[in-house]
Structure 1
Amino acid sequence: MSVPAISPSVLQTALEALCSDHSGFDDHFRRLPFAWPADGSLVNGDFLHPLFGADGADMDALVEHIYRSLIPFCLPRGEVKKVTKAALAAGDIHPIIALADRARELFVRTRGATTAGGEAGELILFLLLEALIKAPLLVSKMSLKTNSNMNVHGRDGIHLRYCPSLNGLVLHLGESKLHKGLAAAVDDAVSSIEQYLGDRALRRREFDIINGNMDLSGLDAESEQHLRAVLNPYASPPSPVHRTHTCFIGFEYGGYAKVAGIDSTKVEAEFQRVYARRAQTAAPLILEKSAKLPATTRLHFFVMPFPDVDSFRTTFSQKLGVQID
């Protein structure tokens, strides 16, 4: 089957336009200037940290910001656009409020009240992929989970983008791990990827889900036709699509205590200085642990420290209106 031709720049622009509005992202997520070791591997990443307020890392502000992503994370893009457009045209905000309520209820129901605090990592991963990488969500697994007959276990997120440097499409297969320790979080992520790569049935089921449930609402007809042809797992010959296992790694970090009490105008710069030293040891650790995966495995790590992981889980769950164990 021939794949309909399309200009790479047109495809890239069309895909990036599918990303939700994440205004304010740069006010809540800071990137640490850091160059990963050029060791020839396919491992890369970003070291991030939350916004600092007058009393240290502002976790309340972070929770409020990621909570705003519940609607595009949980609900199909086309439905959100249709309801929002009609509501704005009618000057009636109640349908939008109803969307937010349904997204929250879906998130809590599919995740379970006892684990919702840990699932904040999936929401952060979604936000980072769309706002930072410009890779829109391809499959809304949350909405699929309302169908109890559908097995949608697998990656924590499936996103898609066009990469000029690779001259092709990249599927970002998400992993989200939030642990007390950095090493444990990386181990958990690598183990999950290793299991995925070693399970053909799981991989086929994942791509069957993609093939049958791509959320391409908003794309022009040319781009949609091209993507459906390229991502068809039954096409012969199959089209080349790059796969990057993209991991959010959240861990508890004592560096916040080292900058406690510093003037609010200087604290973020001092924290970045302390955090940069940690990144110098964290990157080799991640590379070492990733070495157990096949050398052809593309990996991207978003590494983010928290002052207190349990406190973050609790704050997020309180925002959702649930309790966690």
Structure 2
Amino acid sequence: MSSPADSPPSLSSVIQKLLDKSPLDRFVKCVVDLTSVPPYKAPRVALLHVRFKEDIPSIRAFSDFLGNQAANYALSRRRRDAYQAQMASAQNGDVSAAQELSRAVRKAFIEFRQANPSRASEVGEVLAYCVAVHHLQASQLIAKMALKTSNNMPVYGLDGIHASVVNGELNVFFLESKLAGTAASGTADYADSVSGFLKDDGQYEHEYGLVTSLGNLDVLDPADKDLMLNYLDVFGNPNAPKRERSVGVVCYSEVKHFANKLEVDDGPLSKHEDYFGELYKGDLNRHFTNLDNQLGVKGVDPNKCMVYLVAVPDVDELREMFYESIGIASLDSDVPLTSPSAIKGGKI
């Protein structure tokens, strides 16, 4: 009679071994979740925004949180596990491994920026990672940041590939992150990107090839890895049962609603955040219609798309604070995304 240790691994248990933790809700509030949108209404849209410290949007805390999460996004699971083991075995108060880890993260981001000077979007990519981990409970299958500095990696490849198991079925999520001056421009960029990916069989196969050969699966036990490869090897088993979805994470400057503030008084501290949330929720139908039209123009099936809109007062400010948090300087090539006139006038 076989023991539990001899039984084959379950898909769910294997995915859980790769799942990170990201306390995103301490820094970003979700006012409209995907689960609250009727299932027949596609594409599905979620509304998130930076949290408030009384009446002030807490951008600094948010950027520092993303800076801390950058290591989990940028470094492979094997490399992270090695640093973790090194720090756990340190003696006599030795914390030098933490400095080594910090340098490794900075190096990954600096090399990416040197290779792609026109793309200052890393903060959005880290945010997309956090959204996938926290809201979708989806494990990171590959750390894309280091690969994006390679000549063999398409500059405009996916920003992340994650997976979850629901009711025994594998869900694979293709992440596309966007930073934008407005929600409409961000969702338009997303529609353009997802359209290009879905029409490019070569890139689709390339992304899966990276997952199976260079991804986080190499930290799994052989039986666990073989199980995952059975689902993810699109060359050896192209019809393996899995649900594939595109996930857009659009972080944008919501100038109008953040400028519409209540007076500070001795009432409930939450009233400022709650007031913003109600204004924001009022835009759901407009955001949905924009995205639906944009996907339609590009010929993209909306049923295979979900988008998280993340509102901040000024996405350029968030980007600059993020760079400060991880210890690298902004560049002249970081083109502003939010127009000064919009900020001054509180326009959309």
- State the TM-score, normalizing by the size of structure 2: 0.82
Return the alpha-carbon distance in structure 1 between the equivalents of residues 258 and 250 of structure 2: 17
Return the alpha-carbon distance in structure 2 between the equivalents of residues 222 and 250 of structure 1: 39
Q: Which residue of 2 aligns with 1:52?
A: 52
Q: Which residue of 1 aligns with 2:89?
A: 89
In 2 relative to 1, CA 285–265 (structure 1 residues): closer, same or farther, beyond 3 Å? Answer: same
Return the alpha-carbon distance in structure 2 between the equivalents of residues 152 and 310 of structure 1: 22
How far off is 1:80 after superposition? Answer: 1.1
Q: Deviations over 1:235-272 (max 9, x none)?
A: 25631221111101122111011125444442111111
| Residue 124, structure 1, aligned to residue 127, structure 2 | yes
Greater displacement, 248-257 / 27-36: 27-36
Whether contact under 8 Å (1:170, 1:243) holds in the other structure is yes
* Partner secondary structure for residue 90 of structure 1: coil
**Please, which of 267, 270, 292 is the counterpart of residue 272 of structure 2?**
267
In 2 relative to 1, CA 18–114 (structure 1 residues): closer, same or farther, beyond 3 Å? Answer: same
Matches within 5 A, 1:184-263: 184-236=185-237, 238-253=239-254, 254-259=256-261, 261-263=263-265
Whether contact under 8 Å (2:179, 2:252) holds in the other structure is yes
How far off is 1:140 after superposition? Answer: 1.4
Whether contact under 8 Å (1:70, 1:100) holds in the other structure is no
The one-letter code matched in structure 1 to 2:329 is: V
Matches within 5 A, 1:20-39: 20-22=20-22, 24-33=23-32, 35-39=36-40
Whether contact under 8 Å (1:211, 1:233) holds in the other structure is no
* Partner secondary structure for residue 238 of structure 1: coil
| Residue 69, structure 1, aligned to residue 69, structure 2 | yes
Q: Deviations over 1:51-72 (max 9, x none)?
A: 1014511100000001111111
Contiguous gaps of at least 5 residues in structure 2? 1-6, 333-348
How far off is 1:217 after superposition? Answer: 4.6
**Please, which of 146, 151, 158 is the counterpart of residue 155 of structure 1?**
158
In 2 relative to 1, CA 63–299 (structure 1 residues): closer, same or farther, beyond 3 Å? Answer: same
Q: Which residue of 1 aligns with 2:147?
A: 144
Return the alpha-carbon distance in structure 1 between the equivalents of residues 328 and 61 of structure 2: 17
Return the alpha-carbon distance in structure 1 between the equivalents of residues 170 and 300 of structure 2: 21
**Please, which of 102, 124, 149 is the counterpart of residue 100 of structure 1?**
102
Matches within 5 A, 1:306-317: 306-317=312-323
Q: Which residue of 2 aligns with 1:277?
A: 282
How far off is 1:202 after superposition? Answer: 1.9
Greater displacement, 222-231 / 256-265: 256-265
* Partner secondary structure for residue 216 of structure 2: coil
Greater displacement, 244-253 / 206-215: 206-215
Q: Which residue of 1 aligns with 2:291?
A: 286
Return the alpha-carbon distance in structure 2 between the equivalents of residues 204 and 86 of structure 1: 36
The one-letter code matched in structure 1 to 2:128 is: L
How far off is 1:317 after superposition? Answer: 2.4
The one-letter code matched in structure 1 to 2:202 is: A
In 2 relative to 1, CA 17–25 (structure 1 residues): closer, same or farther, beyond 3 Å? Answer: farther
Q: Deviations over 1:155-203 (max 9, x none)?
A: 1111111122xx4211111111111111111111001111111222222
Q: Which residue of 2 aligns with 1:175?
A: 176
The one-letter code matched in structure 2 to 1:11 is: L
Whether contact under 8 Å (1:144, 1:152) holds in the other structure is no
Whether contact under 8 Å (1:169, 1:242) holds in the other structure is yes
Whether contact under 8 Å (1:155, 1:173) holds in the other structure is yes
Whether contact under 8 Å (2:187, 2:250) holds in the other structure is yes
Q: Deviations over 1:94-122 (max 9, x none)?
A: 11221121112211221349557532100
Return the alpha-carbon distance in structure 2 between the equivalents of residues 122 and 185 of structure 1: 14
Whether contact under 8 Å (2:182, 2:252) holds in the other structure is yes
Whether contact under 8 Å (2:133, 2:140) holds in the other structure is yes
In 2 relative to 1, CA 182–151 (structure 1 residues): closer, same or farther, beyond 3 Å? Answer: closer
Whether contact under 8 Å (1:75, 1:140) holds in the other structure is yes
Contiguous gaps of at least 5 residues in structure 1? none
The one-letter code matched in structure 2 to 1:154 is: G
User: What is the aligned length?
Assistant: 315
Return the alpha-carbon distance in structure 1 between the equivalents of residues 196 and 13 of structure 2: 34
The one-letter code matched in structure 2 to 1:284 is: T
* Partner secondary structure for residue 314 of structure 1: helix
Whether contact under 8 Å (1:74, 1:140) holds in the other structure is yes
Aligned residues: percent identity?
21
How far off is 1:297 after superposition? Answer: 5.0
Whether contact under 8 Å (1:139, 1:215) holds in the other structure is yes
* Partner secondary structure for residue 137 of structure 2: coil
In 2 relative to 1, CA 123–237 (structure 1 residues): closer, same or farther, beyond 3 Å? Answer: closer
